[in-house]
């Protein structure tokens, strides 16, 4: 039947057939919510991109008007945004809906515009396209435009490899570069599991002071190790090496002799991924001294290699280097600081092995896409607003593969300044399947909140998910605002109300039920589309973990299930989809997705939406969200509340089967 295939989500948007990725051109106008989307109408995998079109009047049900934009001689139609040109700044006509998008000819990408005078139903591309014809760099795309009232101009955020470039305009046609946000002057090595990545500088020396701030970043399931190589030959076959290693919790000094590594000394230290350490080496012809955070931790004497090059090394995971300095003291007179990677580029290095790129704010990996700069109220106060820059990155996201990070800061009409430290990494969603999220333009809640949704997939496996004849769905629309937490300002997301599709006849309600260890609750309920609102009282909990198991069943010898739980010791909400079905999500993406969630006021809230092939979990008041696709057998339709290791009290529970929005 219509929208009734295996895995066909019943209350999430998906195209009738074929491939979909990013939401595009999101705009509200005259009672209609427009959702355009990256679309390939002739196949189930990514191909020549069009803008598909969906329209809703309630953010719950969707209609399918014809395709809005198709490829032309300027290229495929990549992601972009839409605005209502209230003041007719572009001269296209009264209240024109204007789309600003990327024309892609492979990696060569330019920006173009199109307009509609009939509520987005038919579109005319501007004859002066492209309006931004000169890419400063490959992969320059995804224009997101908004009207900045204070400076009375249009502002565009554009993704440019690993930074966001801002432009301004008075007419949507002529754009002026205003500023960039991104690289922070560091350099980043992406270590290959089981091996080292090196970047050797041109400088050589025997007696010197050599130092760097090293941030260890978890990647490939490794906690991170990075360090300095010195007195090295061109091939790093003969060299000294000192590393900080969060996996071994050591600072070590080693010698590479004819390509073989020998550890000379190691000092234990508590090291953590995400932290920055100051590593310093002081040598003369004989003495090799290593300092961690200015404390001498190793002192050896050795003179196997006298003169050689300096370099940086990353192992297994990512290491970021900032403030790399070398002070040569060979003639007994210290020279001035000589930064060897002043601008975070690798052009100053003579030999580079493995992947080295400029480091950026936030997570240090992947390519930046689909940026969006918005202003959001803090805790419902329309007079207290902060700017938030949302950026999609592929790959290196929190669950692996692609995902979305954000920065909270300030914007003056030209420049965005993050209030966060470069080490702070904030995730909009901790699941594996929320990407390219952007908000509706021309739409605000009563306190200035915004509304958005994201593409519910991950570039690591998006082209392979087992659905037919369509591929991919969008997340539920969510209200977006900021909230002040003990850890700082965080995004808060509230799903759109699905009250109108709740099946009230089947509603289940419970209060104050003690879930005891290894017992289960509600094991007789079955279904594949539910809204579940559960609040747990953890003030007397003895359980280590509790939550809801959905889509339970048997698949051969394995128990199929998706576990949505809370880990009390770790204060983490999680979705474990390791045994959620037969689909192989690949090794690049984790199986269990965790989000920090404090059990504030001694309760833990979970607001869960279960659809045929997706779960969306809003933790607490929406400060932690996990969105994941799952592909269980149709026969795996069991539901169960559980606690593990002890008791937990279910303070209140409401379960509503949800009806389909299609048909």
* DSSP symbols for 267-280: EE----TT-EEEEE
Determine contact, residues 552/525, Cβ cutoff 8 Å: no
Out of 10, 14, 102, 473, the residue judged to bind ligand FRU by CB under 6 A: 102
> Which residues in 48-67 contact ligand FRU (CB under 6 A)?
49
Number of Cβ within a 10 Å radius of residue 198: 24
Shortest Å, Cβ 102 to ligand FRU: 6
Shortest Å, Cβ 455 to ligand FRU: 7
Out of 10, 14, 18, 21, the residue judged to bind ligand FRU by CB under 6 A: 21
Burial of 374 (0-12, 13-18, 19+ CB in 10 A): buried
Shortest Å, Cβ 589 to ligand FRU: 16
Out of 34, 50, 53, 141, the residue judged to bind ligand FRU by CB under 6 A: 141
Give residue for tokens 């003895």.
Answer: 542
Shortest Å, Cβ 458 to ligand FRU: 10
Using DSSP, state whether 660 is helix, strand or coil: coil
Q: Alpha carbon of 287 to those of 207, 281, 303: distances in Å?
A: 9, 10, 8
> Which residues in 572-631 contact ligand FRU (CB under 6 A)?
none
Shortest Å, Cβ 80 to ligand FRU: 8
| Nearest residue (CB) to ligand FRU, 4 versus 45 | 45
> Which residues in 328-387 contact ligand FRU (CB under 6 A)?
369-370
- Secondary structure letter of residue 347 according to DSSP: T
| Nearest residue (CB) to ligand FRU, 81 versus 493 | 81
Sheet containing 260-268: which strands, arranged edge to edge?
260-268, 250-257, 239-245, 225-232, 308-315, 196-205, 349-353
Site size toward ligand FRU (CB under 6 A) is: 12
Structure tokens at 455: 């593409």
> Which residues in 142-161 contact ligand FRU (CB under 6 A)?
142
Query: CA-CA distance, 160 to 478, in Å (whole number)?
Result: 27
Out of 9, 10, 38, 561, the residue judged to bind ligand FRU by CB under 6 A: 38
Shortest Å, Cβ 21 to ligand FRU: 5
Structure tokens at 201: 């500088």
Active site residue 139: no
| Nearest residue (CB) to ligand FRU, 112 versus 207 | 112
Using DSSP, state whether 500 is helix, strand or coil: helix
Q: How many CA atoms lie within 13 A of 327 on its CB side?
A: 15
Residue 373 phi/psi, 5° resolution?
A: -110, 120
- Secondary structure letter of residue 601 according to DSSP: G
Q: Which of 22, 395, 429, 611 is catalytic?
A: 22
Shortest Å, Cβ 462 to ligand FRU: 9
Using DSSP, state whether 90 is helix, strand or coil: coil
What mask, x for binding ligand FRU by CB under 6 A, covers residues 411 to 440? Answer: -------------------------x----
| Nearest residue (CB) to ligand FRU, 132 versus 597 | 132
Determine contact, residues 629/613, Cβ cutoff 8 Å: yes
Residue 589 phi/psi, 5° resolution?
A: -115, 135
Residue 250 host element (H or E): strand 250-257
| Nearest residue (CB) to ligand FRU, 13 versus 210 | 13
Instruction: Tell whether residue 291 is a contact of ligand FRU (CB under 6 A).
Output: no
Residues that bind ligand FRU (CB under 6 A): 21-22, 38, 49, 78-79, 102, 141-142, 369-370, 436
Q: State the catalytic residues.
A: 22
């Amino acid at each position: 039947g219509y929208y009734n295939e295996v895995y066909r989500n019943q209350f999430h948007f998906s195209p009738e057939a074929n491939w979909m990725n990013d939401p595009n051109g999101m705009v509200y106008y005259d009672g209609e919510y427009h959702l355009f989307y990256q679309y390939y109408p002739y196949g189930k995998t990514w191909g020549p991109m069009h803008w598909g079109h969906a329209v809703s009047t309630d953010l719950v049900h969707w209609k399918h008007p014809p395709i809005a934009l198709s490829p032309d001689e300027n290229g495929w139609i990549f992601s972009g945004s839409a605005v209502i040109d209230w003041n007719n700044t572009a001269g296209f006509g009264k209240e024109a809906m204007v789309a600003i998008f990327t024309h892609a000819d492979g990696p060569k990408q330019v920006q173009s515009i199109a307009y509609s005078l009939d509520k987005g139903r038919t579109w005319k591309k501007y004859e002066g396209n492209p309006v931004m014809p000169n890419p400063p760099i490959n992969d320059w795309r995804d224009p997101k435009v908004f009207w900045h009232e204070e400076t009375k101009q249009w502002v565009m955020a554009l993704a440019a490899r690993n930074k966001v470039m801002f432009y301004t305009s008075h007419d949507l046609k002529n754009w002026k570069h205003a500023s960039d946000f991104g690289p922070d002057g560091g350099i980043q090595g992406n270590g290959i599991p089981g091996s080292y990545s090196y970047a050797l500088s041109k400088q050589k020396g025997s007696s010197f002071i050599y130092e760097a701030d090293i941030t260890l970043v978890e990647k490939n399931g490794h906690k991170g190790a990075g360090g300095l190589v010195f007195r090295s030959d061109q091939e790093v076959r003969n060299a000294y090496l000192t590393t900080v290693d969060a996996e071994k919790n050591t600072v070590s000094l080693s010698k590479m002799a004819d390509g073989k590594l020998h550890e000379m000394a190691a000092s234990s230290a508590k090291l953590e991924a995400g932290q920055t350490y100051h590593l310093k080496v002081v040598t003369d012809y004989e003495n090799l001294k290593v300092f961690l955070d200015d404390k001498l931790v190793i002192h050896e004497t050795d003179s196997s290699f006298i003169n050689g090059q300096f370099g940086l090394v990353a192992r297994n995971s990512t290491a970021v280097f900032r403030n790399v300095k070398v002070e040569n003291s060979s003639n007994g007179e210290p020279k001035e600081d000589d930064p060897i990677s002043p601008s975070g580029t690798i052009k100053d290095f003579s030999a580079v092995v493995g992947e080295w790129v400029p480091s950026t704010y936030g997570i240090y990996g992947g390519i930046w896409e689909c940026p969006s700069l918005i202003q959001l109220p803090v805790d419902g106060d329309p007079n207290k607003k902060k700017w938030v820059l949302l950026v999609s990155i592929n790959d290196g996201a929190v669950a692996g593969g692609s995902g979305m990070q954000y920065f909270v800061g300030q914007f003056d009409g030209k420049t965005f300044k993050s209030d966060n430290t470069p080490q702070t990494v904030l995730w909009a969603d901790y699941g594996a399947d929320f990407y390219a999220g952007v908000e509706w333009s021309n739409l605000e809640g009563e306190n200035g909140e915004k509304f958005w949704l994201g593409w519910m997939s991950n570039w690591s496996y998006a082209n392979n998910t087992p659905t037919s004849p369509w591929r991919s769905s969008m997340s539920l629309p969510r209200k977006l605002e900021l909230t002040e937490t003990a850890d700082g300002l965080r995004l808060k997301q509230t799903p759109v109300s699905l009250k109108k599709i709740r099946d009230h006849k089947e509603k289940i309600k419970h209060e104050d039920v003690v879930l005891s260890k290894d017992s289960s609750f509600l094991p007789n309920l079955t279904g594949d589309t539910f809204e579940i609102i559960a609040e747990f009282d953890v003030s007397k909990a003895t359980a280590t973990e509790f939550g809801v198991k959905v889509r339970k069943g048997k698949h051969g010898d394995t128990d199929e299930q998706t576990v949505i739980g809370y880990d009390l010791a770790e204060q983490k909400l999680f979705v474990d989809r390791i045994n959620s079905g037969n689909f192989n999500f690949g090794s690049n993406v984790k199986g269990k997705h965790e989000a920090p969630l404090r059990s504030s006021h001694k309760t833990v809230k979970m607001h869960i939406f279960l659809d045929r092939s997706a779960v969306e979990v809003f933790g607490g008041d929406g400060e932690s969200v996990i969105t994941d696709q799952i592909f269980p057998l149709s026969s795996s339709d069991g539901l169960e509340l559980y606690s593990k290791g002890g008791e937990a009290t279910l303070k209140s529970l409401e379960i509503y089967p949800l009806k389909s929005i299609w048909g």
